[in-house]
Amino acid sequence: DAKTTQPPSMDCAEGRAANLPCNHSTISGNEYVYWYRQIHSQGPQYIIHGLKNNETNEMASLIITEDRKSSTLILPHATLRDTAVYYCVRPGNQFYFGTGTSLTVIP
């Protein structure tokens, strides 16, 4: 079961941190968690991935719980251009996308 669970939608004020949660309770020990986002039906854009340590890059931070059953993507200072659908994805032999979280950044 490669399912991930995300809230269907979230709002965030511009300039504030956006925290997007994901549950992946059946993840295996050597399986990474990937995050992608998709802006208005363009191709999904890679954001970040991690295994068990917290990760940070120029786009976002990824916090993975110690039991690895859930993670949170953090956009530290959300801008209007961050409005998109965010997918938490388990790779498997393919990428399993759910329906994602539609994040709206409000001015």
Give the pairing of strands 101-106 and 84-89: antiparallel
Tell whether residue 23 is a contact of other proteins (CB under 8 A): no
If binding means CB under 8 A, how many residues of this protein chain bind other proteins?
Answer: 24
Position 52 contacts other proteins (CB under 8 A): no
Question: Residues 44, 64, 71, 84: which binds other proteins (CB under 8 A)?
Answer: 44
- At residue 22, φ and ψ (nearest 5 deg) are -150, 135
- Residue placing its CB nearer to other proteins in the complex, 3 or 69: 3
Taking the CA of residue 15 as centre, how many other CA atoms within 13 Å lie in the half-sphere pointing to its CB? 1
Q: Binding to other proteins by residue 95, rule CB under 8 A?
A: yes
